[in-house]
Amino acid sequence: MFRKVIAITALAAAVTLTVQPVAHAGKANDELVWSTNREATIADPYYNNTRELVIIGNSVWDGLLFRNLETGEFVPLLAKSYKWIDNVTIDFELRNDVKFHDGSSFGPEDVVYTVKHVSNKDNGVLTFKNVSWMKDAEKTGANTVRIHLHKPFPAALAYFAQAVFMMPDGHYTSAKANAEGKKNYGAVKPIGTGPYKITSVVPGESIKMVKNDGYMKNGPKGQPSIGKLTFRTLKEMNTQIAELLTGGVDMIWDVPKDQAVKLKDSGRATVTNAKTMRISYIAFDVDGGSGNPAFKNKKVREAVAHAINRKSIVENLVGPASVVIDSACHPDQFGCTQDVKKWDYDPAKAKALLKEAGYEKGITTDIYAYRQREFTEAVIGDLANVGIQANMKFMQYRALRDLVWKGTPPIHHMTWGSNSIPDVSAITSHFFSGGRDDPAKDPKVAAALKIADTSVDPEVRKAKYKEALEIISSELYWLPMFTYAKYYAYGNEVDFTPTPDEIPRFYTAKWK
């Protein structure tokens, strides 16, 4: 008992209470409040691609299919059944008992509208790669729809389950245009069919949801239990922990390892380290567009790769569910081989490579990051040990993403969660097919990925993905770092089990 008191006291001392306790969270008020440090300015899964909106997307909207995490199978959700007609055509029979949150009935017109809107590049879906493979859709009957693909895309079922959420017919027509005439689709009032419906959006602060009492019966998501669900932005981890301990929030994540251990030892919260489908990576300015020419030199990129002790970061900071990776993908994704060129931790070799590259006196650079400052700080420390002085530029994800698209960062440390889609096309093809996220625009890589993304032969897909991943690794366009593992901390009244894809299924949560 004495040791537990000490642990609680130490934890309280480490946390500065910068806010007043909020009494509305918890079982007594049937409101589960969860928080991260990232802002949700838009409540739409097509126009906000943060992890927070992926999670909210799965709670508020539904797709035609659903992935059973236990079996890996794709089963009908809004659909009643589906059938491949040929390699580029899929027929869906739809459920006839589904209603949108505004009371209107879901039907084939809504599927046709959604597909046509999101697959039109002019409409500006942020992660367009997730929907660009769809060509068109047509109503084929009172309760049936046919979707056409541009070309064979064997990962289509995974995207229908995780990235293509259904909107009501005409949903975005009310979007207002800005001064330049560009419509703000993300500002349209959110309407879905999912187990929760959004009641309030305060950009950058909170999104409030309530249980959808009319949610479909006998569906694979089941029926929601908790009455109210709220997302809050709390930018400081100390504030999040303080709120958790005082009842202002019920769940937080990305808790640093040392604080997670203290929380667990205190007994005042349930703490779990869970696997995710997110990876960490470092990307280089390989064409010199940032104004810092150092990383155009492959020897410098090799020096960086040998300088960073990824294993130490995993073991000391990330958590036991994390592993070091060598490929630009997640090991759990189809086609993600780790049989590529590897870059071992070797500071002496890193120093020698810098000397060979003409940087014997060292390099000074900015390094941009947005997530888990302590991870990037560890990278900065390792780089300093070999003569690379890196100045941290830490910011919100959207701001950094925009800078990456402009080519500003000479080196940046970021993450990608693939929308939790278990296929290499959701990550490697997104970053290396020549788009604005591609740091290299290597035609050989893009050509291999094009074949891998469209072949219906699994062995051909694996071989071509391996070809692309080997080039990316050997040329060091990226230095893959590690798979993410999250420390979740949640109140002892919450009955919740984290899933390995970084999507908390709040509709399955209950009160104890």
Strand order in the sheet with 144-149: 79-86, 89-94, 144-149, 134-141
181 token code pair: 């005439």
CA distance 166 to 156: 15
Do 383 and 313 meet the contact criterion of CB atoms below 8 Å apart?
A: no
259 and 280 co-located in one domain? no
Q: Is there a domain that residue 507 lies in?
A: yes
Do 254 and 489 meet the contact criterion of CB atoms below 8 Å apart?
A: no
Instruction: Give the pLDDT of residue 11.
Output: 52
CA nearest 409: which of 282, 278, 280?
A: 282
Q: Is there a domain that residue 181 lies in?
A: no
Q: Considering its fold, how many domains does the chain have in total?
A: 3
Q: Is there a domain that residue 184 lies in?
A: no
HSE-CB at 445 with a 13 A cutoff on CA atoms is 26
Show pLDDT as tens, one digit a residue, over the chain (512 residues): 333 433 444 454 444 433 444 446 789 999 999 999 998 889 999 999 899 999 999 999 999 999 998 898 999 999 999 999 999 999 999 999 999 999 999 999 999 999 999 999 999 999 898 999 999 999 999 999 999 999 999 999 999 999 999 999 999 999 998 888 889 999 999 999 999 999 999 999 999 999 999 999 999 999 999 999 999 999 999 999 999 999 999 999 999 999 999 999 999 999 999 999 999 999 999 999 999 999 999 999 999 999 999 999 999 999 999 999 999 999 999 999 999 999 999 999 999 999 999 999 999 999 999 989 999 999 999 999 999 999 999 999 989 999 999 999 999 999 999 989 999 999 999 999 999 999 999 999 999 999 999 998 999 999 999 999 999 999 999 999 999 999 999 999 999 999 988 999 999 999 99
Q: Is there a domain that residue 83 lies in?
A: yes
CATH number at residue 157: 3.90.76.10
386 and 475 co-located in one domain? yes
Angle of the 458-475 helix axis to the 443-454 helix axis, nearest 10: 160
CA distance 70 to 278: 19
CA distance 467 to 448: 7
328 and 213 co-located in one domain? no
- Beta bridge partner(s), residue 281: 414, 480
CA nearest 485: which of 321, 285, 326, 255?
A: 321
Q: Is there a domain that residue 177 lies in?
A: no
434 and 444 co-located in one domain? yes
- Rg for the chain (alpha carbons), in Å? 23
pTM reported for the whole predicted model:
0.84
Instruction: Give the pLDDT of residue 313.
Output: 97
CA distance 355 to 339: 29
HSE-CB at 235 with a 13 A cutoff on CA atoms is 9
Instruction: Give the pLDDT of residue 180.
Output: 84
CATH number at residue 405: 3.10.105.10
333 token code pair: 């994704």
CB-neighbour burial class of residue 396 (10 A; exposed 0-12, middle 13-18, buried 19+) = middle
Q: Is there a domain that residue 206 lies in?
A: yes
CA distance 57 to 43: 8
251 and 386 co-located in one domain? no
* DSSP letter assigned to residue 105: B
| Antiparallel, parallel or unpaired: β 31-36 and 251-252 | parallel
Say how many C-beta atoms besides its own lie within 10 A of residue 172's C-beta.
Answer: 21
| Antiparallel, parallel or unpaired: β 251-252 and 228-233 | unpaired
Q: Is there a domain that residue 405 lies in?
A: yes
Q: What is the DSSP string of 197-226?
A: EEEEEETTTEEEEEE-TTPPTT-TT----S
Instruction: Give the pLDDT of residue 181.
Output: 85
CB-neighbour burial class of residue 366 (10 A; exposed 0-12, middle 13-18, buried 19+) = middle
Domain region containing 85: 65-172
